[in-house]
Amino acid sequence: NAGVMQNPRHLVRRRGQEARLRCSPMKGHSHVYWYRQLPEEGLKFMVYLQKENIIDESGMPKERFSAEFPKEGPSILRIQQVVRGDSAAYFCASSPPEDTEAFFGQGTRLTVV
């Protein structure tokens, strides 16, 4: 059973471009979380999704950030018009329907130049 897969592992974007981060949950997992970790800081919750539903987006910045988890395919975290402050590691986690333990991917490291 493959773990949570995130791609790309590293992403470089120029200021003003769009960044798309993908997360494929573990097989049989229907819940996805996204977290952000700024350099030398802790993990901050961003959004919690179930397939085709956003359950909790209380940690999402109000502008430029969006997330989806479609019926088919991976979950996508989209950042429009990136700025230098968006440079961070973005981690995705998935959990089974009974929502017990969550398993994390290896993250996408976004660098905005």
d(CA 88, CA 69): 21
Query: Which segment (11-19, 32-40, 62-70, 74-82) binds other proteins by CB under 8 A?
Result: 32-40
Q: Is 18 in the site for other proteins (CB under 8 A)?
A: no
Among 12, 38, 43, 113, binds other proteins (CB under 8 A): 43
Query: Which segment (10-18, 64-72, 78-86, 105-113) binds other proteins by CB under 8 A?
Result: 105-113
Q: Is 28 in the site for other proteins (CB under 8 A)?
A: no
Token couple for 64: 């430029």
Q: Give Rg (Cα) of the chain.
A: 13
Which positions touch other proteins (CB under 8 A)? 4, 33, 35, 37, 42-45, 48, 55-56, 89, 91, 93, 99-107
